[in-house]
Amino acid sequence: MRRSGLIWFLVAAIGQGAFIWMILAHFGQRTLVGDFAGWNDKPLIKGYVAGDDAGNLMFAVHVLLAAIVTLGGLMQLIPALRRRAPGLHRWNGRVFLVTAIIMALGGLWLTWGRETYLSLISAVAVSVDGVLILVFAALAWRTALRRDFEAHRRWAMRTFLVVNGVWFLRVALMAWAIATGGLGMNQSLSGPADVVLQFCAYLLPLAVLEAYLRAGRSGDPAVKRLTAAGMILATAVTALGVFGTVAFMWGPYMI
C-alpha cells in the first residue's frame, strides 16, 4: 500500500514540476520583462486588463505564488526531508501555509471581486475549494502549535490536496477529455461533466486520502490490498491527465 502511494506521488510530482515550469516560463518571464499583456498569450478567463491595476497586481501575485506553494507542498511530503532537515521542514511548512492562505483569499477576491469565472457554478466550485484551504490550513497550523503531530500530518496532507485543487482540475479535465472525447464538456465549464469534475477535483482526492489513512490504521490485509488497487487506479488517471496537460496545455513550455 505504501508503494502504491509512493508511485502516485512520483507521478503527481512530475505533473506538478511541469506546472511550476509553465508558470515560470510563461508568467514569470513576461512579468520580469514588464510584458503584462503577454500573460494573455495563454488562454485565460481574465488575465491582463488595461487600466485594472489592482486586478492585474492581484493576478500576478496569485499566479506567481502558485509556483512557490506548489514546490513547497511537494517538499513537505518528502519523508527524508522531514527526518534529516526538520528545521527546513518547519520553516517551509510555515511558508506553505501562509502562502496558501494568501492565495485562497486572493482567489476569492479574483473570483467575486474581479468576476473571474466562466459560469456561476465554476465560481461556486472554486470558492468552496478556497474556503476549505482556509479551514484546513488553520487546522494544520493549530495542531502543529499544539504539537499534535499525527493530527497535524493529516491536516497538512488535506491542505496539500485542496491547495492543489486547480492543478487537480486541469489533470481531471484532460484525463476525461482524452478518455471520453470531451463528453459532457463545453467552453464555459458548465457541462454536466465539467460541473462534476470541478467539485471532484478536490473532493475526490480528499476521499482517496481518507481511505488511504484509514487503511493504514486497519489490520485487515484485504482492506490494504483494496486500497492499494485504488491508488494504482488513481495513479493511472493522474498519469493520463498529466500527459494531457503537458501535451495540450503546457507543451510549448516543456521545450
pLDDT per residue of the chain (255 residues) written in tens, 0 to 9: 889 999 999 999 999 999 999 999 999 999 999 999 999 988 889 999 999 999 999 999 999 999 999 999 999 999 888 889 999 999 999 999 999 999 999 999 999 999 999 999 999 999 999 999 999 999 999 999 999 999 999 999 999 999 999 999 999 999 999 999 999 999 888 999 999 999 999 999 999 999 999 998 988 899 999 999 999 999 999 999 999 999 888 765 544
Radius of gyration, alpha carbons of the chain = 18
What is the per-residue pLDDT for 63?
95
- 3 state SS for 194-227: HHHHHHHHHHHHHHHHHHHHHHHHCCCHHHHHHH
Grid cell for residue 144: 502543529
What is the per-residue pLDDT for 2?
87
Q: With the C-alpha atoms ordered 177, 179, 181, 182, is the resulting torsion angle positive or negative?
A: negative
Query: Could you give the CA distance from residue 183 to residue 168 in angstroms, rounded to a whole number?
Result: 19
Nearest to 97 by CA among 148, 136, 145, 147: 136
Q: With the C-alpha atoms ordered 138, 204, 223, 239, is the resulting torsion angle positive or negative?
A: negative
Nearest to 135 by CA among 107, 159, 102, 167: 159
Specify the pTM.
0.93
What is the per-residue pLDDT for 255?
40
Does residue 254 contact residue 23 with C-beta atoms inside 8 Å?
no
What is the per-residue pLDDT for 196?
96
Q: Which residue has the cell 526538520?
A: 86
Distances (CA, A) of 246 to 124, 170, 177, 255: 27, 10, 14, 11
What is the per-residue pLDDT for 254?
43
Query: Could you give the CA distance from residue 21 to residue 51 in angstroms, rounded to a whole number?
Result: 29
